[in-house]
C-alpha cells in the first residue's frame, strides 16, 4: 500500500526547479545550501526540514546523506557544472545532483 503524498510534499515538488551552480553561488556564500545525496528523495528531505522532523534530519546529517555545502564540494560543482535540482525551505536551499534521463 503506497502512501498518498502530503499537501506539503506536493507544494514543494511544484516549487522544485533545475538550477545551475552559478545561480546558487550567492546562497553558498551565505552558508544556506544543503546538499542531499542521491538516492534520498530531495522533496522528502525538504518536507522533513520544513516541518522540523529533527530526528529524521539529524539521522541524515549524521550519516552524511545531508550536509552543508563545503568549499571542496563548491569547487567541484563549479568545475563540473552538473545539472542540479533545488527547492527552497527558508532559510535553506536544498540541492541535489540529478542525472538526466
Measured in whole angstroms, the distance separating CA 9 from the mean position of its chain's CA atoms is 14
Per the domain annotation, does 2 fall within a domain? no
Per the domain annotation, does 1 fall within a domain? no
Mean pLDDT lowest among 3-7, 9-13, 88-92: 3-7
94 contacts 17 by C-beta, under 8 angstroms: no
How many domains are contained in the chain? Answer: 1
C-alpha cell at 39: 538516492
The pTM of the full predicted model, rounded to 2 decimals, is 0.91
Whether 100 has a pLDDT exceeding 70, the answer reads no
Mean pLDDT, residues 4-8: 82
Per the domain annotation, does 83 fall within a domain? yes
Domain interval for residue 17: 7-97
Tens digits of per-residue pLDDT, 63-98?
999 999 999 999 999 999 999 999 999 999 999 998
Per the domain annotation, does 55 fall within a domain? yes
DSSP lists the bridge partners of residue 87 as: 94
Report the largest interatomic distance among the alpha carbons of the chain, rounded to a whole angstrom.
Answer: 43
Amino acid at each position: 500500500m503506497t502512501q498518498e503524498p502530503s499537501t506539503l510534499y506536493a507544494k514543494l515538488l511544484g516549487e522544485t526547479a533545475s538550477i545551475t551552480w552559478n545561480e546558487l553561488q550567492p546562497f553558498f556564500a551565505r552558508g544556506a545550501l544543503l546538499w542531499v545525496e542521491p538516492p534520498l528523495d530531495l522533496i522528502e528531505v525538504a518536507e522533513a526540514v520544513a516541518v522540523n522532523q529533527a530526528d529524521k534530519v539529524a539521522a541524515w546529517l549524521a550519516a552524511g546523506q545531508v550536509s552543508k555545502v563545503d568549499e571542496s564540494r563548491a569547487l567541484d560543482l563549479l568545475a563540473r557544472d552538473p545539472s542540479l535540482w533545488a527547492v527552497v525551505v527558508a532559510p535553506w536551499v536544498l540541492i541535489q545532483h540529478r542525472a538526466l534521463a
